[in-house]
Amino acid sequence: MVFGKIEYLNLLPFHIFMKRYLRSSQAKATMHYKGGVPSKINKDFKKCRVDAAFISSIEARGYNSLELGIVAKKEVLSVLVKPNTPTKKDSESATSNALADVLGIKGEIIIGDKALKYYLQNQPYIDLAKEWHNRYKLPFVFALLCFHKDKKFYKKIEKKFLQKNIKIPQYLLQQASKKTAIAPKDVLHYLKYISYNVDSKAKRSVKIFYKELQRRGK
């Protein structure tokens, strides 16, 4: 099995969980990772170059998915628009670009760890997840864990991951901090804004997002 791995900080708890979950050598041998930014993983999944991955919500339509995703409770801090700038899409994310269109927000879109670093510089920004919550009073779902096969395997992962409160070991926190140039305390603060449970409110939010996309012919 090939799992599409997005290296953003928002999935750090999941990657730690998977490392612990796949303890047996047999399980590790059958699970291989293919890394990349969300837009690349989306393409790899569509072409069946990966068997499962967190797929951008806009691209997840029509595929098998779990009640596991990347959910912003209110703010997200890592999907931003720079106000009063020329409109520019972020090539790494299709969902964030579409979300800005749905909300009618203009400016340069930035996502992921670079957006989090921008936020930490106290620069002016518009948080797209917060704007969505202000409008619909719902969390925004940026990605869903989708799969082509082995449903039972991924349902077990979903159940076990959502049951656990993942603690990040200091050495892994330091590694993530060094790789992203974001302080450990800021990494931990950021992760408080992320949920992985696609509950009833999150599902309703996804349906509204899809309706808005359909209304715009996307």
Model confidence over 32-66: pLDDT tens digits? Answer: 788 888 889 999 999 999 999 999 999 999 999 99
Q: What secondary structure letter does DSSP report for 88?
A: B
Could you read off the pLDDT of 97-109 as tens digits, one per residue? 999 999 999 999 9
pLDDT of residue 92: 86
Residue range 207-213: mean pLDDT, rounded: 95
Could you read off the pLDDT of 72-86 as tens digits, one per residue? 999 999 999 999 999
Residue 143: phi and psi, rounded to 5, are -155, 155
pLDDT of residue 19: 83
Query: Residue 200 — pLDDT band, cuts 50, 70, 90?
Result: very high
What's the rounded Cα separation, in Å, for the pair 178 and 172? 10
Q: Is 90 a residue whose pLDDT tops 80?
A: yes
Query: Residue 29 — pLDDT band, cuts 50, 70, 90?
Result: low
Contact call for residues 108 and 86 (beta carbons, < 8 A): yes
Residue 44 host element (H or E): helix 38-46
pLDDT of residue 7: 84
Domain architecture of the chain: domains with CATH: 2-215 (3.40.190.10)
pLDDT of residue 28: 57
pLDDT of residue 196: 97
C-alpha of 114 from chain center: 14
Where does residue 137 fall: left (phi above 0), alpha (psi -120 to 50 degrees), or beta otherwise? left
Q: What is the mean pLDDT of the chain?
A: 92
What pTM does this model have?
0.92
What's the rounded Cα separation, in Å, for the pair 148 and 171? 34
Q: What percent of the chain has pLDDT over 90?
A: 79
Residue 63's SS3 state is coil
Residue range 165-175: mean pLDDT, rounded: 94
> CB-side exposure of 123: number of CA atoms within 13 Å?
17
What's the rounded Cα separation, in Å, for the pair 17 and 160? 9
